[in-house]
Chain A
Amino acid sequence: MPLIEFVSAIVGFVLTLMVFSYLIGDNPLFRFAVYLFVGVASGYAAAVIVNDILLARLQSLPLGDPALLVIGLIPLLLAATLLAKLFPRISWLGNFAMAVLVGVGAATAIGGALTGTLIPQAEAAVDAVDPRSLTGLVGGGVMLLGTVTTLAYFQFGAKRAADGTVKRNAAVEALAWVGRVFIAVTLGVVFAGVYTAALTALIERLNSLILFLKSILGL
């Protein structure tokens, strides 16, 4: 095993134990590991951004074509203005770059949500109902019902009743109640998945510790 890999394994082993010490309770070892992780991860990300994005862009500027050079410099200049956000007096300089980022991001999200989720999923919900077979009818019906009722749960339009209380429409209220059942089942399954992922991470960590110990012990 190369030295760098051995050292990495030892460090990883120790840091894993440090983090696991949190199971006993919060302690300095856990904090040490977490702060170290945040620092390394941030430095790693900064290095990647500077090296792979900004410097790479700067190096790839077409110096021979003024038009393309200007076009290529604009995002870099806008990016540079974002640094002004660190200084309150001139933080307004970064608003232009943020405006471009937000405007493009909003439009991209709109286009993606509309064409990638709303229309296809609505179609899928309807198409799931297959009257030609019982399973298709029941399964598709349940699927459609679940989709509609889940959406109905997030329908918060209501009217004020005669007694002054604000209530949703009775039909919407019933649909919303059914939607809550679907949502509860969905979140239960999601929770099971989260737990499985966490347990898998625990298994992976324990496995790495065991492999390291076995490699140390020569087993």
Chain B
Amino acid sequence: MLNWQELTQSETAGTGIHRLDPRVKITMLIITGGLIVFLDNPVLLAILLAVGAAGMLIARLTLIKLKVVCVVVLLGLWGTVFSQALFYEQVPRTVMGTLISPGTPVLGPLTKGVYIYREGMLHGLRQGLRMATMTTLGLLVCWTTDSRLLLLGLVRMRLPYSLAFMTVTAVRFIPVLLRETMQVVTSAKMRGGSRLSMQLLSPILANCLRRAGTLAVAVESRAFRAQDRRTYLEELDLSLREKLFLTGYLLAAAAVVTCKTSYFCYQYGLYYVSALRPVYEFTRVYL
């Protein structure tokens, strides 16, 4: 049985990744989110995914968490690659194999043949790798950052405190919600009910509302939003090494975006400078 409590909570092992300033992690996540939209080379996307996976190993995450990531990533990859390989619509497309030939009785005329397309597989692989990279990095950030540091990081990145507090508190109560959902399902099953009944939503929602009410009273009683601003007991301190790393990553990402944008302009006849030909070539081959 999955231990939702464990799966939805951050770990406190003191590895370098855990100690990274939360702003570094959040910023990297945002930059990577933008970067993978521009990258088309499956090898580079796979490298980014591998970096995320290596981060998980370095962070010494528990085996159950690694297993869950593997299952989610592999299922996602298989699903996108397979579906795109079958249903790729753009041309040119190269048939690699035939699942249902047009001559097959009943299914053949119905489907007009089902083929596996090489370009579709490649397209699916790119999409799958993008999703897998973000899933891996997102989970790595969540599992290696205590929610209070995440809150502090978000606030220091100019997210309004109320919004950051609500986001982090909502995340913190996910395990409780899951546990209660399991209890409702269990209680229904013990009386012969179905686990999928819509009726089960009412106790879950009622309990959520009750808890939200209690929590609202608890925070309002402690002067939440009583002033326009607030002070903080703990300050985050971005080290020089972290600043350099972040700057380097940001510059690298900016370089990739610039290369891809110039290549895009060249490809669609919007802008061309002969001096940039090595850049076009590099982008076409590697990015």
A and B bound?
A: no
Which B residues are closer than 8 A to A by beta carbons?
A: none
Which A residues are closer than 8 A to B by beta carbons?
A: none
